């Protein structure tokens, strides 16, 4: 049964502390989940690229954007991984855009999403030897929405069942997979690919072929 989005957000955790970020004249913000296709804040520049030392995992629960209290969705976070590499988009905000972007993201990512902030080193695709420092929103095991690891098959089943205020959890997965394909063959994410494959084997069981396109 289709779930109606909640009219009020969940209880708000304290907003993350951003040392000196609000006083900067320019700042790069790294997006590796929904921010790659829907930043929803004004920015001056954007660049596709990657961060090393992290892997992307669908280990964060979402009870607002892509799920509900009864059926939390699955969204991504970053896991420290010495051999890892995560592709995404870095957005540069300048001047008044800095405080406006951080104010918006504190609600979207921290208050509603349960994410904290971390500084990462971003390598632009067109100039990987000219890295940039960027701010990333990361969900840690300490936040109440954290779900942790699960088999890709179980994650796929959960994604297919969940919908939130921002849409179906399946849309989130497929848009992220589309972004990775646009980055080219060098952009690998075995965890994401395994979940997409698992969804492909389960989708007919959840939704007849004629209705599949209406899921998202």
Q: Annotated active-site positions, please?
A: 109
Residue 118: how many other CB atoms lie within 10 Å: 17
Exposed e or buried b per residue across 180-211, where buried means at least 16 C-beta atoms within 10 angstroms of its C-beta: beebeeebebebbeebbebbeeebeeeeeeee
Q: Which of 177, 172, 194, 184 is nearest to 60 (CA)?
A: 172
DSSP 146: B
Structure tokens at 67: 């799920």
Handedness of CA 191, 196, 201, 204 (dihedral sign): positive
| Per-position DSSP letters for 66-118, written without gaps between them | S--SSS-EEEEEEEEEEEEEEEEEEEEEETHHHHHHHHHHIIIIIITT--EEE
């Amino acid at each position: 049964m289709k779930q109606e989005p909640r009219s009020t957000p969940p209880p708000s955790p304290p907003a993350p502390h951003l040392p000196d970020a609000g006083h900067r004249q320019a700042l790069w913000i790294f997006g590796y989940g929904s921010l790659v296709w829907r930043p929803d804040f004004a920015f001056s520049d954007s660049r596709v690229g990657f961060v090393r030392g992290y892997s992307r995992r669908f280990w964060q629960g979402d009870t607002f954007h892509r799920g509900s209290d009864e059926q939390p969705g699955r969204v991504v976070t970053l896991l420290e991984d010495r051999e890892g590499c995560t592709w995404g988009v870095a957005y540069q905000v300048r001047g008044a855009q800095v405080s406006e972007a951080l104010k918006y993201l504190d609600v979207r990512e921290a208050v509603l999403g349960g994410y904290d902030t971390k500084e990462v080193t971003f390598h632009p695709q067109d100039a990987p030897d000219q890295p940039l420092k960027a701010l990333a929103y990361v969900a840690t095991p300490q936040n109440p929405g954290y779900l942790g690891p699960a088999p890709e098959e179980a994650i796929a089943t959960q994604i297919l069942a969940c919908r939130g205020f921002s849409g179906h959890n399946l849309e989130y997965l497929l848009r992220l997979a589309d972004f990775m394909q646009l980055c080219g063959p060098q952009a690998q994410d075995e965890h994401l690919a395994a979940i997409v494959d698992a969804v492909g084997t389960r989708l007919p069981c959840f939704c007849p072929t004629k209705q599949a396109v209406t899921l998202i």
